[in-house]
Amino acid sequence: MTTQSQMLKGILEGCILSLMEHREVYGYELSTLLEDSGLTFVSEGSIYPLLLRMQKEQLIEGTLRPAPGAGGPPRKYYNLTDKGLQVLQQFKEHWGTLKDSVDHILTRGGQ
């Protein structure tokens, strides 16, 4: 496992919850949003197991709906639960502290 993927593993859940904070998204759309945000190395195949785990932990809910337009397979849309929103708020607090600390070390060598 690369250093980048090890670092990403711990923050990907928070990023996914944040993308769902104000609207529901479906899996492929989520993959596109992550890529558009600069996380180009996150594969679509790695997102679905994470969504399943997050759903089992009741952080998100999934609803199967017909695809818009003419045909196509149904899509599973995901949105935050109250528990997911609480976890997202905690993530934001912890991320801010962690980011500030790491930035301080990287820019000043801890001085």
Report residue 74: phi and psi, to 5°: -60, 155
| pLDDT of amino acid 56 | 97
Measured distance CA(107)–CA(29) in Å, rounded: 35
* pLDDT tens digits, one per residue of 27-64: 999 999 999 999 888 888 889 999 999 999 999 999 99
For residue 1, what pLDDT band results from cuts at 50, 70 and 90? low
**Residue-range domains of the chain with CATH:** 3-108 (1.10.10.10)
Residue ranges with strand state E in the chain:
25-26, 60-65, 75-80
User: pTM of this prediction?
Assistant: 0.84
Q: Using pLDDT thresholds of 50, 70 and 90, give the confidence band for residue 8.
A: confident
